[in-house]
Amino acid sequence: MSVFTAATDQSVCTPLPVLGGDVTVPLVTGGEVTYAALDYAASAPALQRVWDDVAAYAPYYGSVHRGAGYLSQLSTDLFENARRTVAGFLGCRADDQVIFTRSTTDSLNLLARALPADCQVFVFETEHHASLLPWQDARVTYLDAPRTPRQAVEILERALADRTVSIEGGYGPALVCVTGASNVTGELWPVRELAAAAHAHGARIVLDAAQLAPHHPVNIRDLDVDWVAFSGHKLYAPFGSGVLAGRADWLRAAEPYLAGGGASRKVTRRQDGGVDVEWHESAARHEAGSPNVIGAYSIASACKALTEAGWDTLVAREQHLIAKVRAGLAEVPEVRVLSLFGDDAPRVGVISFVVEGWNSSHFAAALSAEYGIGVRDGLFCAHPLVRTLLGTDPQSQGECGAPEAAPGEKSLNAIRVSFGAGTPDEHVERFVTAVAELVRDGAKWQYRTEEGRCVPAV
The catalytic residues are 381
What are phi and psi for residue 142, nearest 5 degrees?
-90, 130
Beta bridge partners of 275: 269
CB burial string 237-248: b at 16+ within 10 A, e below: bbbbbbbbbbbb
Q: Where are the alpha helices (DSSP H) in 310-424?
A: 311-330, 360-371, 383-390
Distance CA(30)–CA(18), nearest Å, equals: 27
Distance CA(86)–CA(304), nearest Å, equals: 9
Distance CA(434)–CA(372), nearest Å, equals: 10
Helices 70-90 + 293-309 axis angle, to 10? 40
Are 12 and 43 spatial neighbours (Cβ–Cβ below 8 Å)?
Answer: no
Distance CA(64)–CA(18), nearest Å, equals: 28
259: how many CB neighbours lie within 10 A of its CB?
Answer: 12
Closest by alpha carbon to 443, among 399, 388, 392, 385?
399
Helices 425-441 + 311-330 axis angle, to 10? 10
- Using CA atoms, how far residue 361 sits from 99, 416, 419, 456, in Å, is 38, 11, 19, 12
Distance CA(448)–CA(458), nearest Å, equals: 9
Distance CA(359)–CA(453), nearest Å, equals: 12
Distance CA(161)–CA(29), nearest Å, equals: 60
